[in-house]
């Protein structure tokens, strides 16, 4: 299907060069520490996101989930520890080096963070416009992305005219333009109706299973966790995407779960392991009582 055409020329050369050894995680945190004033936000956080894997990050409000994502983008600098993106330590990077890293990362912000002064089209086209890609190519890519999130009709609207869910989907389209190989979702389904939330999870599943994208998916919602860890996407002969349920004979290897509590990782493993845990805090988080 047209969605998965590859546009190699849109990606910076460094994103596609083969010099990174096989098996290098897409994202790696090594003992990362961060404090704002005297409040410790992250305390010796270490984890890896292998290539092609979706890491679901759970945790209550204020536990440091968005902070982790901001660290990956270099929007916030750690006080101690190392952050590696595709094997490259970004902690000593200056703004120019970070720009190079950010080119291969797509980010879906918690509140959408669309540019108010730009139309939907210009929002989605933003990254390509900045890179000076020629107009026909930009238009093709933008329309492809808007079809992907099912918002072709809204192309000329301004963000202010959109509903919350539409804004979020435009944010996703903007993040995916240029085929980034890492995508960060910060609570992409918060405040959306169940079918729209499901659609967004399906987008993430498609990226994971068909595009080999590595991602971090921050969420509060248990049904997101359910979808992401039990459904997978396959292409049939005609090239249509189907979603299938994880059966007994199939074990999802490309989804991991991690839970934060006040800046400390208190759980890391698969969804089944999470459900089987005896920890009262985690039990309360997943069952809500």
Partner 1 sequence: MSFIIQFLTELQEVGNLLWRCIKGLKKKPRYFGEIMRQMDLIGVGSLGICVLTGFFTGGVLVLQVYPTLDYYGATSNAGQGVATGLIRELGPVLTALMVAGRVGSAISAELGSMVVSQQIDAMRALGTSPARKLVTPRIIALIITLPLLTIAADMFGLIGGGLLANYLHSLDPNIYISSVRTGTHVEDLLASILKPMVFGLIIGVISCYKGLQTTGGTVGVGISVTKAVVTSSIYVIIADFFLSKVLQSAFSGTMF
245: CB partners within 8 A, 6+ apart: 230, 231
The tally of CA atoms less than 13 A away on the side-chain side of residue 19 is 6
CB of 275 to ligand ATP, least distance (A): 22
Interface with ligand ATP (CB under 6 A), residue from 26, 27, 54, 67: 67
Residue number, 35 or 282, with CB nearest to partner 1: 35
Counting beta carbons within 10 angstroms of the beta carbon of residue 277, is it exposed (0 to 12), middle (13 to 18) or buried (19 or more)?
A: middle
What is d(CA 188, CA 111) in angstroms, rounded to the nearest whole number?
8
CB of 263 to ligand ATP, least distance (A): 7
Q: Is 63 in the site for ligand ATP (CB under 6 A)?
A: yes
- If one counts every other C-beta atom within 10 angstroms of the C-beta of residue 129, the result is 14
What is d(CA 132, CA 146) in angstroms, rounded to the nearest whole number?
20
Q: Is 206 in the site for ligand ATP (CB under 6 A)?
A: no
Q: Is 64 in the site for ligand ATP (CB under 6 A)?
A: yes
Q: Is 174 in the site for partner 1 (CB under 8 A)?
A: yes
Q: For residue 250, give Cα distances in angstroms to 3, 237, 253, 270, 280.
A: 26, 21, 9, 14, 29
Q: Is 225 in the site for ligand ATP (CB under 6 A)?
A: no
Q: Is 61 in the site for ligand ATP (CB under 6 A)?
A: yes
Task: Give the interface segment with ligand ATP, choosing from 16-24, 57-65, 161-169, 200-208 (CB under 6 A).
Answer: 57-65
Q: Is 97 in the site for partner 1 (CB under 8 A)?
A: no
Residue number, 51 or 127, with CB nearest to partner 1: 127
CB of 185 to Mg ion, least distance (A): 11
Torsion sign (Cα): 160, 163, 167, 169: negative
Q: Is 110 in the site for partner 1 (CB under 8 A)?
A: yes
What is d(CA 69, CA 184) in angstroms, rounded to the nearest whole number?
7
Task: Report how far Cα 111 is from the mean position of its chain's Cα atoms.
Answer: 14
Site string for ligand ATP, 89-128 (x = CB under 6 A): ---------------------x------------------
Task: Give the interface segment with partner 1, choosing from 23-31, 128-136, 140-148, 219-227 (CB under 8 A).
Answer: 128-136
Q: Is 180 in the site for ligand ATP (CB under 6 A)?
A: no
Residue number, 110 or 277, with CB nearest to partner 1: 110
Joined together, the tokens standing for residue 219 give: 């969420």
Q: Restricting to residues 21-50, name those near ligand ATP by CB under 6 A.
A: 36, 41
267 binds, among ligand ATP, partner 1, Mg ion, none (CB under 5 to 8 A by kind): none
Interface with ligand ATP (CB under 6 A), residue from 66, 119, 214, 224: 66
* DSSP structural state of residue 9: G
What is d(CA 202, CA 243) in angstroms, rounded to the nearest whole number?
8
Torsion sign (Cα): 121, 15, 180, 160: negative
Q: Which residues bind ligand ATP (CB under 6 A)?
A: 36, 41, 59, 61-67, 110
């Amino acid at each position: 299907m047209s969605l998965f055409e590859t546009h190699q020329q849109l990606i910076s050369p460094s994103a596609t060069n083969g010099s990174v050894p096989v098996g290098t995680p897409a994202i790696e945190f090594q003992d990362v520490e961060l404090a704002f004033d005297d409040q410790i936000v992250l305390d010796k956080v270490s984890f890896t996101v292998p290539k092609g894997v979706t890491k679901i990050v759970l945790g209550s409000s204020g536990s440091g989930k968005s902070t982790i994502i901001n660290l990956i983008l270099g929007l916030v600098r750690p006080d101690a520890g190392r952050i590696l993106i595709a094997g490259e330590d970004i902690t000593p990077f200056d703004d120019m080096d970070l720009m190079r890293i950010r080119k291969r990362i797509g980010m879906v912000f918690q509140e959408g963070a669309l540019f108010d002064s730009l139309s939907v089209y210009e929002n989605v086209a933003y990254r390509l416009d900045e890179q000076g890609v020629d107009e026909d190519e930009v238009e093709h890519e933008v329309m492809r992305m808007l079809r992907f999130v099912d918002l072709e009709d809204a192309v000329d609207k301004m963000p202010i005219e959109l509903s919350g869910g539409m804004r979020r989907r435009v944010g996703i389209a903007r993040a995916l333009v240029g085929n980034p190989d890492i995508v960060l979702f910060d609570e992409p389904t918060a405040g959306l109706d169940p079918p729209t939330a499901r659609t967004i999870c399906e987008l993430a599943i498609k990226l994971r299973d068909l595009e080999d994208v590595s991602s971090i998916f921050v969420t509060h919602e248990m049904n997101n966790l359910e979808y992401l860890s039990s459904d997978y996407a396959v292409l049939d002969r005609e090239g249509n995407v189907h979603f299938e349920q994880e059966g007994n004979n199939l074990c999802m290897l490309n989804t991991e779960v991690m839970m934060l509590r006040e800046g400390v990782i208190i759980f890391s493993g698969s969804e089944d392991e999470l459900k089987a845990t005896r920890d009262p805090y985690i039990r309360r988080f997943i069952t809500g009582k």
